[in-house]
């Protein structure tokens, strides 16, 4: 229920599952402490808030610079997701930019990071699906 609406009152959850509200509150607190729930957030549509260009950047990294590069990528507020990967590329980053000029500036900065050996860029053309809800 919290995945679909993080504002759901604990009393509603307790009623649906036949538990005490205090039990629900305790379990949610434990899920947060254990890192199962990492945040309670509003899920925004990037294009509606001015991020009209998005894309994926695949990076081949020099292994001696991997941790440093990932730390620098994490600092970019325009990067929403960073995945370590197997195969040809070591890291995949998803970027949201205001326009192509902004996107190109971000890509150029990433390419110039010490230890970045190769970059493959794919600009998205259409937002089709993003689902933060896991079937439990």
DSSP string, 86-99: -SS-SEEEEEEESS
Contact predicate 88/41, CB 8 Å: no
**Residue 102 belongs to domain spanning:** 46-123
CATH number (domain holding residue 34): 1.10.10.10
Q: How many domains does the chain have?
A: 2
Across 57-76, average pLDDT: 97
User: What local confidence, expressed as pLDDT, does residue 10 receive?
Assistant: 96
CATH number (domain holding residue 56): 3.30.70.920
- Measured over the CA atoms of residue 14, residue 20, residue 21 and residue 23, the dihedral's sign is negative
Q: Are residues 12 and 67 in the same domain?
A: no
**Does position 134 have pLDDT exceeding 90, yes or no?**
no
For 44, the token pair is 């925004």
Across 54-65, average pLDDT: 97
* Residue 135 falls inside a structural domain: no
Contact predicate 78/93, CB 8 Å: no
Closest C-alpha to 55, from 84, 109, 96: 96
- pTM for the model stands at 0.80
User: What local confidence, expressed as pLDDT, does residue 47 receive?
Assistant: 87
Across 109-135, average pLDDT: 91
For 62, the token pair is 């020099």
Q: Are residues 32 and 19 in the same domain?
A: yes
* Residue 136 falls inside a structural domain: no
User: What local confidence, expressed as pLDDT, does residue 102 receive?
Assistant: 97
Q: Are residues 39 and 70 in the same domain?
A: no
* Residue 130 falls inside a structural domain: no
């Amino acid at each position: 229920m919290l995945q679909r609406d993080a504002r759901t009152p604990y009393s509603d959850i307790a009623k649906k599952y036949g538990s005490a509200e205090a039990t629900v509150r305790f379990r949610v607190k434990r899920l947060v402490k254990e890192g199962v729930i990492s945040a309670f957030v509003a899920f925004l549509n990037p294009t509606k808030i001015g991020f009209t260009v998005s894309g994926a950047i695949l990076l081949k990294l020099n292994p001696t610079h991997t941790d440093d590069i990932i730390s620098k990528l994490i600092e970019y507020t325009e990067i929403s997701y960073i995945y370590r990967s197997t195969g040809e590329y070591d890291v995949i980053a998803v970027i949201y930019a205001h326009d192509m000029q902004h996107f190109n500036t971000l890509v150029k900065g990433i390419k110039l990071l010490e230890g970045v050996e190769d970059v493959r860029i794919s600009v998205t053309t259409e937002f089709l699906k993003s689902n933060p809800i896991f079937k439990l």
